[in-house]
Amino acid sequence: MGNQKIRGKDLKNILYHSNHAKSLAIDIMAKHYKHSSKVEKLDLLRAVREEPEKFISNPILGSLAEEFMEEEISDLRYEISLRETQRDFMVFGRKLISSNAYQQMDLAMRLRIAEMGALMPDAHQGYGLPIGGVLATKNAVIPYGVGVYIGCRMSLSLLDASPDYLKRNGYQFKMALKERTCFGTGGELGMKQEHEILDRAEFSESSLLRQLHGKAVKQLGTSGSGNHFVEFGEVELFDANEFGLEAGTYLGLLSHSGSRGLGASIARHYTEVAREKCLLPRQAQHFAWLDLDSDAGEEYWRAMNLAGNYAKACHDQIHYHLVKYLGLKSVATVENHHNFAWKEKGLTGEELIVYRKGATPAAKGELGIIPGSMTATGYIVRGKGEASSLFSASHGAGRKMSGKKVRESYTGSEMKKTLSKAGVTLVGGGVDEAPVAYKELDEVMNHQQNLVETIGTFTPQIVRMDKN
């Protein structure tokens, strides 16, 4: 459990500057939240810092919230106000979306730089933008609008074997996942790897990236914690696919992860830079932005794109190592970011920065992957180019229960029964990511029929996740 402990450097990364606040946070987490994961602890501590008024009467967290309530005096000196009313934004599947996610999007649309927005049907509360939120801004970039999971993405390889081959050789596939993948904060694959991403010039362009190069080398080809996964399963391709393959069933390898410690460090550094330069009211400080024509804005943009390319490289290496281990070959690939910012002109004719915080790009003809839970069939989709969604669709089913609520209401034995009934083998993982934690993907898909069309499916059979 040692790697679940909160330390001073962790708190510094989420903008805890006061030594007293750090000490309080460490004590509270150690005493009252020892069964929570490190990610959950940091998410809760970040929430206390950002919205202390919500926790001021909490018998456990109230004393910590007081530390940040005292900082509100400085908020009187903010220089950039919000719009009195938000700009309108489109909502898909409103009945599936919690009020707090809607309120987060409402706040984002009150930013002076906000031009357009949309909520996908899998949307739920996040930090900064809601998960499933899409936002377009003009000539400015919000580091926390992208967040710490820069370049979080999906990658699917279709392999030159049938699903029956997986069933006959299940043990070999499980061993491949155990020996050629690595999960969790700070995880390293433990083998020497070569990839052009490690030689990119951007790593020498700033002191931050120079410092992060060693971490990038060690974590290449690894996956994060939480809902990140690598899994084998059955792909069904429908007629008229883009791969030149016959309709039918194939063996598939699907991965979900991001840019690891590299992306998280870039996000935290430039979020702090933005907050120092862009003085917003306290409730909106996590939306602090950098002008794209400023030195800091240009630096972040280049670093963000490097992290996105690094995330792709991690997926490429995951697939390379597994396919090589199994003696197979990839015959087709589908991949997409679903947590990133892009420069796009298709919405209004002028260039806008479009953030998809847990949303799949869905321009006309663009392919993507929308997965379900570890037992649910996911979908290979083709975008329809719907402008009202900012050319976007959901990135999955979306959570309906937090990890804490799942652990309080669902047992490991219940999860094993669910997996057994679905014919799914889980390597690692925990009840935090149990299927019950997620919305029904088919219902989500019903609310975005105008956004994407389905050209295939992926059904998981052997799933590898971090052990919560």
Per-residue model confidence (pLDDT) at position 304 = 98
The residue whose two tokens read 């679905």 is: 422
Q: What is the mean pLDDT of each run of 10 residues along the chain (468 residues)?
A: 78 85 92 88 90 81 81 58 90 95 95 97 92 97 96 98 96 97 88 95 96 96 94 94 92 98 95 93 92 97 98 98 98 98 94 98 98 96 98 96 88 94 94 93 98 98 90
Which amino acid, residue 71? E
pLDDT for residue 70:
58
The answer for residues whose C-beta is within 8 angstroms of residue 13's C-beta and 6 or more apart is 264, 265, 268
Alpha-carbon distance of 211 to 219, in angstroms, equals: 14
Residue 147 CB-half CA count within 13 A: 22
Give the torsion through C-alpha atoms of 135, 140, 143, 145, to 10 deg. -10
Range 152-465 has CATH code 3.90.1860.10? yes
Return the domain boundaries, the chain: 2-75, 152-465
Cβ neighbours for 100, distance < 8 A, ≥ 6 positions apart = 125, 130
Name the pTM for this structure: 0.86
Question: How far are the Cα atoms of 37, 358, 425 from residue 328, in angstroms, in the given order?
Answer: 36, 31, 21
